[in-house]
Amino acid sequence: MALPVLFSFISAAVAASLAFTVPLGKNRGLAGWAFAGVMLALATEQLLVGLSEQSSSPFDVDTVIRWRFALTSLLPGLWLLFSATYSRGEARKNLRRRLPFVILAFAIPISVVSFAEGEMAYLVEDPEDPLQDILKLNIAGFFLHVSMMLAMLGAMVSLERTYRASVGTLRWKIKFMLYGMGTLYAARFFTSSQIVLTQRIEPSLENINAVALFACCILVGRSLFRKGSFEIDLYPSQSIISGSLVISLAGIYLIAIGVLSKVIVHFGGEQAGAIQTLIVLITLVALCVLVLSDRFRQLIRRFVSRNFQRPLYDYRTLWLKLTAATAQSVRQKDICESTAKLLADLFDTKLTNIWLLDANEGNFNLISTTDQDDGHVDSNGAHSIPSDSILKKLIDSPEPQSIERSGEIWIKPILDSNPSSFDDGGDRILVPLTGQGRAIGFIMLGDRTNTLEFTQQEFDTLRCIGDHIAANILGAALTRKLEESKEIEAFQTMATFFVHDLKNAVSTLNLMLKNMPLHWDNPEFRVDALRGIGNTSNRITDLITRLSQVRHGLEISPSPTDLKKLIDASISEWEKPDDINFETEETEGISISADFGKLKSVVLNLLINASEAMDGSGSISVSTRVTGTNAEIVVADTGCGMSPDFIRNGLFRPFKTTKKSGLGIGMFQSKMVVEAHGGAIFVESEEGKGSVFKIRIPTSAKD
């Protein structure tokens, strides 16, 4: 048996073993089954490749090749399915967003193979070796390999996002899985591009696929030995695709292949081309590994700094990143999480924990960490360290310091609560967070890549970062206090109005109770008393309802509504004062989709406000019309009017009112109702001359 054939069978066996091993582990989920499908398909493909190369009958070879192409058509969809679910938080939700692409990745290749089975490839006699056949690519085979290249490119971009979203221990757990699958995807992208360019499937390209599959299995097997490689949930940001390293490398690669093909034709012939393309593949894979290696990037930075007298960090860029990471955060936890991730990326530390002081409990609580192991953070999400012996030390020594070999007693609980996951992780560094003459917490860094020691330059950088983060955390605490103060103020304002209305209601009831012994025998008094009690009860109920709607979200139930009927119903419930002149001008046949009861309450509220704005006699008018695609309700009065400042800053805000007995929530609630209908409310007013309110609601489609 030839060595390439043997290697195909070995790769198939190793891949099949992984396919049946991974789903048996706990918590594998959808990603585990997708991975198993990929490995099983690749194992079967390599088995068929080995059988086709071993067979001497052209008929048998043709049959095996047809089965091989049918199996290959499953790979694009399986690759995208795995890359979209591996190490992803809310994997099923993420998959639903990418489902159309996954379906296309399955449907297009399978359709090509199903409907053009005889147009995939064909065997021809090699002109240089009559005993050897060449597998030439046909039009359907061409489209199959193009679809594979596109699917692999999408899968590599998705895995790159996963890698970039991971930090610290999370990256350590999954990086060999990503290296392995990345190697496989890169190799298949290379071989598929060569097949598309040369229109033939060379045995050497099949050998590259076998080698890449074997290397992938070795790297993935190494990843499976790391606990939790399939149980991690990451939430990569949807960054701009043009910034992707995968896209950039793919573009460079295709340009290089185009240039290389010209060089090969001119100098070396086909055999030299196979050797040179293999060298290009190896170089690209090595380049990817180096670019993604934490250790390599760190060594390069130190080499440049040592030999060219350049700082380890571009401080302007660093400060911009730090500011951008924390500027949008107003909660202490958000600031800490952004800072922990930034420090882990900047200093290549897998242990990055931030502890903040809880003054009420007298403990330091773990707020953010890059180590998500179950044993490191308790079920409440925050482990605690007593602060008694630590606070004074942090204030007295605000500089970052190595505490690994310190024999002081106060250090021990910090070391015990921030355990190192690696024996060769180097020293653990304590960065105090101090501000306004007091300690508010500290940062712990450890498990550094390559066990590199922190330099004095890095200690200075950490001190600046610690001071900046401490200031942000103190600012967030102050912001929270201001929010609480505003909430208390709003509650007090609401309580003042509420108590005022309740006092009026109680006064009415007290007056009735005082008069009952004297006038109870009078039937008219009893009727009037019952009416007064009913009105008072309705007033309190309405008050509670309106306050509840301010607190909770507004829900409407729209239905086809005749606008004239809605206006008439509002007018019928309004108690018009005798000394007010009232006019209506309504347009027939205007239909809108509205919640009849809630929109009626808006019109009624405008009528009540208009009548209460009158000082003596005056006039109020209501009109309806169609303006463009909107129905318009206009309520105008000749009352006292409003100032521009009140319209701009107080009219539609809760608890802002010009009426002595008002709550100041009527117009706020009315605006909410109108906007919930997809409309808007406008006002024109002048002090001493009156006001005009316009409500615009979209008309029904037929209008």
| C-alpha angle 559-563-565 in degrees, rounded to nearest 5 | 95
> What single-letter DSSP state applies at residue 105?
H
pLDDT band for position 286 (cuts 50, 70, 90): low
- For residues 272 and 414, the model is more confident at 414
128-138 confidence digits (pLDDT tens) = 665 566 777 77
State residue 325's pLDDT score. 74
pLDDT band for position 375 (cuts 50, 70, 90): very low
Average pLDDT of the segment spanning 392-417: 85
State residue 697's pLDDT score. 92
Average pLDDT of the segment spanning 338-362: 85
> What single-letter DSSP state applies at residue 131?
T
Please state the domain extents for the chain.
3-233+243-286, 315-478, 559-698
Residue 124 has pLDDT above 90, yes or no: no
State residue 381's pLDDT score. 40
pLDDT band for position 241 (cuts 50, 70, 90): very low
Tell me the CA distances in angstroms from 303 to 300, 308, 312, 473, one per residue in order.
5, 8, 9, 35
State residue 7's pLDDT score. 77
Asked if 573 and 606 touch (Cβ cutoff 8 Å), the reply is no
State residue 179's pLDDT score. 85
Sequence-ordered list of residues with C-beta below 8 angstroms from that of 333, at least 6 positions apart, any chain: 367, 368
Residue 654 has pLDDT above 90, yes or no: no
- For residues 125 and 323, the model is more confident at 323
Asked if 581 and 543 touch (Cβ cutoff 8 Å), the reply is no
State residue 671's pLDDT score. 84
99-121 confidence digits (pLDDT tens) = 888 888 888 888 888 887 667 77
Nearest in space to 368 (alpha carbons), one of 510, 513, 469? 469
- 559-698 is classed CATH 3.30.565.10: yes
pLDDT band for position 494 (cuts 50, 70, 90): low
State residue 308's pLDDT score. 47
Give the CA-trace dihedral at 74, 77, 82, 88, to 10 degrees.
-170
HEC per residue, 403-471 = CCCCCCHHHHHHHHHCCCCCCCCCCCEEEEEEECCEEEEEEEEEEEHHHCCCCHHHHHHHHHHHHHHHH
Residue 353 dihedral angles phi and psi, to the nearest 5°: -120, 145
Asked if 145 and 195 touch (Cβ cutoff 8 Å), the reply is yes
State residue 558's pLDDT score. 86
426-475 confidence digits (pLDDT tens) = 889 899 998 888 888 999 998 887 777 888 788 888 888 888 888 888 88
Cross-strand bridge partners of residue 599? none
pLDDT band for position 350 (cuts 50, 70, 90): confident
Distance of alpha carbon 23 from its chain centroid, rounded?
28
What sign results for the dihedral spanned by CA atoms 114, 117, 119, 120?
A: positive
> What's the chain's average pLDDT?
76
Give the CA-trace dihedral at 557, 561, 563, 564, to 10 degrees.
-130
% of the chain with per-residue pLDDT over 70? 73
State residue 636's pLDDT score. 93
Comparing 31-40, 274-283, 408-417, 692-701, the range with the smallest average pLDDT is 274-283
Mark 611-650 as b/e (b = at least 16 C-beta within 10 Å).
bbbbeeebebbbbbeeeeebbbbbbbbbbbbbeeebeeeb
State residue 231's pLDDT score. 59
State residue 443's pLDDT score. 92
pLDDT band for position 545 (cuts 50, 70, 90): low
Residue 662 has pLDDT above 50, yes or no: no
Q: Which amino acid is at 112?
A: V
Asked if 451 and 476 touch (Cβ cutoff 8 Å), the reply is no
Asked if 500 and 480 touch (Cβ cutoff 8 Å), the reply is no
CATH class given for the domain over 3-233+243-286: mainly alpha
pLDDT band for position 492 (cuts 50, 70, 90): low
Highest mean pLDDT among 209-213, 355-359, 630-634: 630-634
State residue 239's pLDDT score. 44
Given this chain, do its domains 3-233+243-286 and 315-478 carry the same CATH topology?
Answer: no
pTM: 0.46
State residue 106's pLDDT score. 87
Give the HSE-up count for residue 62: Cα atoms under 13 Å, Cβ half-sphere.
Answer: 10
CB atoms within 10 A of CB 239: 12
Residue 380 has pLDDT above 60, yes or no: no
CATH class given for the domain over 315-478: alpha beta
End-to-end CA separation in angstroms for the chain? 81
State residue 617's pLDDT score. 81
State residue 632's pLDDT score. 93
State residue 347's pLDDT score. 84
560-595 confidence digits (pLDDT tens) = 999 999 999 888 888 777 788 889 988 888 999 888
Average pLDDT of the segment spanning 240-250: 51
